[in-house]
Structure 1
Amino acid sequence: MRKSTRIACTGTLATAVVAALSAFASDYFSAAPRTMSSPSAAVSAASVSAGVANNSRKVLPGSALRQASFDRFIVKYGDGTAARSSQTLLLNAINAAAMRAGVAGTKLSANGSSAALSMQYVRRLATGGDVIRLSRGLNQNEANALLAQLRADPSVKYAQPDYIKQRLDFTPNDPRLDLQWHYTHPTTGIKAPTAWDTSTGEGVVVAVLDTGYLDHADLNANIVPGYDFIIDTVVAGDGDGRDADAHDPGDWEGGGTSSFHGTHVAGTVAAVTNNGLGLAGVAFNAKVQPVRVLGHGGGYTSDIADAITWASGGTVAGVPDNANPAEVINMSLGGYGSCNDDPVTQAAIDGAVSRGVTVVVAAGNDNQDAAYHSPASCVGVITVGATGVDGARSYFSNYGAAVTLSAPGGNATSGSSPNDRWIWSLGNSGTQAPVASPAGDLMVGMIGTSMASPHVAGIVALMQSAAVGAGRPALTPAQVKTLLRTTVTPFTVMPPVSQSQGPGIANAAAAVLAATQDIPVDQGTLLDNRIAITGQTGATGDALLYKIVVPAGRTSLNLRTYGGTGNVSIYVAYERTPSATSYDRKSAKAGNSEAVVITNPAAGTYYLSVVGESPFANVSVMGLY
């Protein structure tokens, strides 16, 4: 069977199976999760939750408890008003408003006593408002009535309660969150708890194209219907071809064990969280759509391409339309060979991106340049390399200009304890066929770029949910890629230049915050006259934007790229963003030595788009006038 026709999941369970799948040039690793021979690597979800007292107060992530009583208010009267000049006149004015609102006078308390409402001046704020304390708390309706009267006074600039705010650093009560260093480590984790204060992925569907899924007590509530796209019954191993059942029957070969890889990946994306059971998912209020494309020995490119189309809302003949199209697709799979030689996969990805779907893929585990692997080298994808708890490149991770950024993927030689070597998620105790849930439910440690990729897919779900929640349009795949790259945590251990893995490690907190902000219309990195920007790196299809402001009276403008490796083209436009289809000038020779020269340029801003015709690294960009 030709290597180019089948794709292996980026992983396997043991050395023997790695060898058996070497023809597919991609693997992941497991911490002996099936035999339980390594207690640190596979743990019964039921056993860790048994006897754990759930006395945590459940607070919605990012939300304070609703305040029931208000006894302090901040009011700012305008300059020159009587209330502004005297504390006594201020209290008189507020008391008059309380009388008009019907909240002044006496009121029975809960113990049957009564007391007249009185007011005390507290202090003036640096911003100019005055803080007033009432002798009793007002309920929400009373507070609203008082504020309405105060705000009706044209001399009042503003009036509001002196709200009580609470800590929002949401910590789920899942008992084995402690294993998930990849979420919480201060320098090498993805900073998930801070991101959860803003977003938990609600309203977003993430399609996981993998081995399917297993019923699991820590996942079931977040599954939406998927599909089994494997046509070949030998590869499928479930006795039939394509159907609506995306359950994983096992992917063992010969006498080997099954990986249940899709369940581990799905758990990283969206394991049910704050349920007092097991561990947490990155986007735990998102939904996972399991799409089965990998079986015994991997999966066919043709099946995977159809699955990409279907998951993203496209039409596949003979398959019912997807009722829940995904906003994000994760593919922790790959095979040797450039995407230039895999136009079927590229076309499917192009279709998904055109429908606004972000496609996240694993870089691969061959310690090679990702440019020689598909879909890692495809245009338009977000390719994820792996790092360990030490922040260094995982020894197995693919690298190079095709890698967008890195995320925790584990590293068998790193970590202060055995648990820190692994990425922890969901699994099953079965060896070949799965053991039915809940008896077979496990928490399993694995390593690989297969594990890094779903961290980023989960972050994308958090970003999309945050953007929409902030009243902004959904992010485009290109915007997602830019925000992910510009919000990374810098590497604590820099990879060698020859083994680059993007600008750093995915930072969920920073990416989610960026997703809630306005994206500037006037984008682009500013070029200073005659000063080069060096070290520019990107994948095939990446477009890096620069701008230079040219004063009046200049006789020429030279915009150029040079040095480094790969192949770029440049597109230039005056006072607008250029593209490969809309530009004023371009230079598109082989290699990175490109130049556009404009004689007697008009004063104003010129924009330069550097587009990767192939992966490029360490390119310099310069503007001269």
Structure 2
Amino acid sequence: MADNTNVTRRSFLTATGAAAGSVALVGVSAGESDDPWNSDRSEYIVGVSNVEDDPQQHVEQYLQGQEQVGSVQERLNTAVVGLPADAPESVRKQFVDRLESRDTIKYVEQNVELQAQLVPNDPRFGDQYADQQVNAPEAWDTTTGDAGVTIGVVDQGVKYDHPDLDGNIDRSVSNGGRDFVDDDGDPYPDSLNEEIHGTHVAGIAAAEVNNGNGVTGIGNSSVIAGRALSERGSGSTADIADAITWAANEGADVINLSLGGGGYTNTMQNAVTYAANQGALVVAAAGNDGSGSVSYPAAYGGVLAVSALDPDESLASYSNYGPKIDLAAPGTNVLSTWTADDYESISGTSMATPVVAGVAGLTLAQWELSNAELRNHLKATAVDIGLSDRQQGAGRVDAANAVNTDPGSGGGGGGGGGGDSTSSSVSGSLRGRGDSNCWSFSYEYSNPSQVVIELDGPGNADFDLYANTSTNACPTTSSYEFRSWTTGSQESITIDNPDTSVDLNVLAYAYSGRGDLTVTVTEYK
């Protein structure tokens, strides 16, 4: 959690909340007061089981001599206990053993001082909380990002000459993007007073880190802007879908969709499926209705849906939620770049989404991952903040975990799986419209976090992909649980937490054309 630092009477972390580095046992300088906490102390953090709701009172009953509780972190149910700095090692060990012998004491560990390895020189970093809440500063000790990683911002126009954005705009694309509203090559906002959303979103993901200016984004990824929303904040399905496919064709590794509404459309589903097939991870806002269903495009299969958190890591009152939520991120009062070359705070799932997109970009600066692997790695390394799966998905996205956890290690603290995967493939052919093949796949993992089904067919045909996971029967074109139905023969279906009590049944169907095909099923732990 963002507030997992135990601060005693001597604050042992800088106000910036910067990254962890070398450690030292906390000791408080001697003073003239009789208060024992003003003399040198050796500090230990005592974690108390949540069955005890008053950690200070609970710990104090086990203390002896000059041992004393200095502070309490109620959300973590911990207490900081001080011992005299000159206490011999035998006394320290006796203290630890005495407390750890209690069933209600989860752990006892030294309270160490964390020294920043990178404190960004951006003057308003201390005014931000979202970066710290997702532990970006700790990730920056490993990498601040890579210009070779591209985030496509499909939104309103982006003020690409903002002094905190201009260094991270991808100049290999004319003007850093394209305008799909006015159908021209300049994604600059039409009205700087009204059209602020895209600039704010871009800054959350990728305002320049450590440039001596303003704020920090999550990382130094490159940004390309697809202006698909006008100064009024709305855009057509066609313009948005065009911007998504354009961003994918321009090589975007991550595509940020801080937009929603309008319900299901095949056009938008196909656009995000196309982007996924091009290798992009599509990240979208869950919606701001406060309802129990996720808005489109976040609800489409294969899109990573993001809910919004308040600074205390509760679900924001405006945030949509539901079974399609993948990750949560800070979205309330997020400070970022503004079109007047300054900075403002606004709220919404629109703000939470680029936090996740920025973490995804930062992760790709460290690890070479496919979009499916990246999606699962972000979920595997997310932090469970105590909300329901419908509210947080796999948990709150965590930059430090994502950057510093080897995707092949099976590590991570979230509910998205351990990063391992296994694949199997079958080949076949379809002879023309109406022809189909059906296969049954047995699961290799007992409880995979996700299954990705991919169809690779000929470029001159239109093959579709259908799947059933909870019915032990081959799907049909009129009776199915999942479908990928683009206009081509590159199809992909993503299924989270599939039912493994029955086999996975997959149908390839020729809508038109003929030719050979391969179906690949990949399971992720």
The question of a shared fold, defined as TM-score above 0.5 by the shorter chain, is answered with: yes
Instruction: Write the letter of the residue equivalent to 1:220.
Output: D
For the Cα contact (< 8 Å) 1:401–1:615, is it kept in 2? Answer: no
Aligned match of 1:245 in 175, 186, 208? 186
Deviation at 1:206, TM superposition (A): 0.8
Give the whole-Å Cα distance in 2 for the aligned partners of 1:356 and 1:220: 26
The aligned counterpart of 1:207 is 152
Evaluate the alpha carbon distance shift between residue 491 and residue 620 of structure 1 in structure 2; reply closer, same or farther with a 3 A threshold: farther
Aligned match of 2:337 in 426, 436, 439? 426
Whether 1:219 and 2:200 are equivalent positions in the alignment is: no
Evaluate the alpha carbon distance shift between residue 352 and residue 391 of structure 1 in structure 2; reply closer, same or farther with a 3 A threshold: same
Deviation at 1:503, TM superposition (A): 2.3
Give the whole-Å Cα distance in 1 for the aligned partners of 2:219 and 2:301: 26
Q: What secondary structure, in the 3-state scheme, does the structure 2 residue paired with 1:307 have? A: helix
TM-score by length of 2: 0.57
Q: What fraction of aligned residue pairs are identical, expressed as a percent? A: 34
For the Cα contact (< 8 Å) 1:570–1:587, is it kept in 2? Answer: no
Whether 1:395 and 2:317 are equivalent positions in the alignment is: yes
Evaluate the alpha carbon distance shift between residue 248 and residue 218 of structure 1 in structure 2; reply closer, same or farther with a 3 A threshold: same
Give the whole-Å Cα distance in 1 for the aligned partners of 2:452 and 2:336: 42
Deviation at 1:500, TM superposition (A): 2.8
Aligned match of 1:331 in 238, 257, 260? 257
For the Cα contact (< 8 Å) 2:302–2:494, is it kept in 1? Answer: no
Evaluate the alpha carbon distance shift between residue 544 and residue 622 of structure 1 in structure 2; reply closer, same or farther with a 3 A threshold: farther
TM-score by length of 1: 0.49
Instruction: Write the letter of the residue equivalent to 1:363.
Output: A
Give the number of aligned pairs.
Answer: 339
Give the whole-Å Cα distance in 2 for the aligned partners of 1:326 and 1:291: 11
Give the whole-Å Cα distance in 2 for the aligned partners of 1:579 and 1:445: 37
Deviation at 1:620, TM superposition (A): 7.1
Q: What secondary structure, in the 3-state scheme, does the structure 1 residue paired with 2:245 have? A: helix
The aligned counterpart of 1:551 is none
For the Cα contact (< 8 Å) 1:571–1:580, is it kept in 2? Answer: no
| Runs of 4+ that moved beyond 6 A | 61-64, 543-547, 574-579, 611-620
For the Cα contact (< 8 Å) 2:328–2:395, is it kept in 1? Answer: yes
The aligned counterpart of 1:572 is 442
Evaluate the alpha carbon distance shift between residue 446 and residue 546 of structure 1 in structure 2; reply closer, same or farther with a 3 A threshold: same
Evaluate the alpha carbon distance shift between residue 489 and residue 580 of structure 1 in structure 2; reply closer, same or farther with a 3 A threshold: closer
**What aligned pairs does 1:259-338 form with structure 2 within 5 A after superposition?**
259-284=195-220, 286-297=221-232, 298-313=234-249, 322=250, 325-337=251-263
Instruction: Write the letter of the residue equivalent to 1:211.
Output: Q
Give the whole-Å Cα distance in 2 for the aligned partners of 1:365 and 1:220: 30
Instruction: Write the letter of the residue equivalent to 1:365.
Output: N
Aligned match of 1:507 in 390, 394, 398? 398
Deviates further, 194-203 or 457-466: 194-203
Evaluate the alpha carbon distance shift between residue 587 and residue 223 of structure 1 in structure 2; reply closer, same or farther with a 3 A threshold: closer
| 1:166-213 deviation digits (Å, cap 9, x = unpaired) | 9663110111111111121xxxx1000011111222121111111111
The aligned counterpart of 1:355 is 278
Whether 1:484 and 2:359 are equivalent positions in the alignment is: no
Give the whole-Å Cα distance in 2 for the aligned partners of 1:329 and 1:381: 10
The aligned counterpart of 2:307 is 385
Give the whole-Å Cα distance in 2 for the aligned partners of 1:616 and 1:326: 23
Instruction: Write the letter of the residue equivalent to 2:380.
Output: T
Give the whole-Å Cα distance in 2 for the aligned partners of 1:481 and 1:579: 11
Give the whole-Å Cα distance in 2 for the aligned partners of 1:197 and 1:544: 26
Deviation at 1:517, TM superposition (A): 4.1
Evaluate the alpha carbon distance shift between residue 398 and residue 229 of structure 1 in structure 2; reply closer, same or farther with a 3 A threshold: same
For the Cα contact (< 8 Å) 2:283–2:303, is it kept in 1? Answer: yes
Give the whole-Å Cα distance in 2 for the aligned partners of 1:63 and 1:168: 6
Instruction: Write the letter of the residue equivalent to 2:215.
Output: L
| 1:474-495 deviation digits (Å, cap 9, x = unpaired) | 3112111111111111114x24
Instruction: Write the letter of the residue equivalent to 2:206.
Output: A
Instruction: Write the letter of the residue equivalent to 1:294.
Output: L
Evaluate the alpha carbon distance shift between residue 272 and residue 579 of structure 1 in structure 2; reply closer, same or farther with a 3 A threshold: closer
| 1:481-529 deviation digits (Å, cap 9, x = unpaired) | 111111111114x24x7x5330211011101123x44367xx9xxxxxx
| Structure 2 unaligned spans of 5+ | 1-18, 23-113, 424-438, 456-465, 474-480, 484-492, 503-525
The aligned counterpart of 1:53 is none
Deviation at 1:243, TM superposition (A): 1.3
| 1:97-155 deviation digits (Å, cap 9, x = unpaired) | xxxxxxxxxxxxxxxxxxxxxxxxxxxxxxxxxxxxxxxxxxxxxxxxxxxxxxxxxxx
For the Cα contact (< 8 Å) 1:386–1:409, is it kept in 2? Answer: yes
Instruction: Write the letter of the residue equivalent to 1:334.
Output: G
Deviation at 1:616, TM superposition (A): 9.1
Give the whole-Å Cα distance in 2 for the aligned partners of 1:504 and 1:579: 21
Q: What secondary structure, in the 3-state scheme, does the structure 1 residue paired with 2:366 have? A: helix
Structure whose alpha-carbon radius of gyration is higher: 1
Evaluate the alpha carbon distance shift between residue 544 and residue 244 of structure 1 in structure 2; reply closer, same or farther with a 3 A threshold: same
For the Cα contact (< 8 Å) 2:195–2:231, is it kept in 1? Answer: no
| 1:333-358 deviation digits (Å, cap 9, x = unpaired) | 11131x3xx11111111111111111
Give the whole-Å Cα distance in 1 for the aligned partners of 2:241 and 2:467: 34
Deviation at 1:269, TM superposition (A): 1.1
Give the whole-Å Cα distance in 1 for the aligned partners of 2:497 and 2:445: 27
| Structure 1 unaligned spans of 5+ | 1-60, 65-165, 232-240, 252-256, 314-321, 411-421, 429-439, 468-473, 524-535, 548-568, 597-610
For the Cα contact (< 8 Å) 1:283–1:458, is it kept in 2? Answer: yes
Evaluate the alpha carbon distance shift between residue 344 and residue 620 of structure 1 in structure 2; reply closer, same or farther with a 3 A threshold: closer
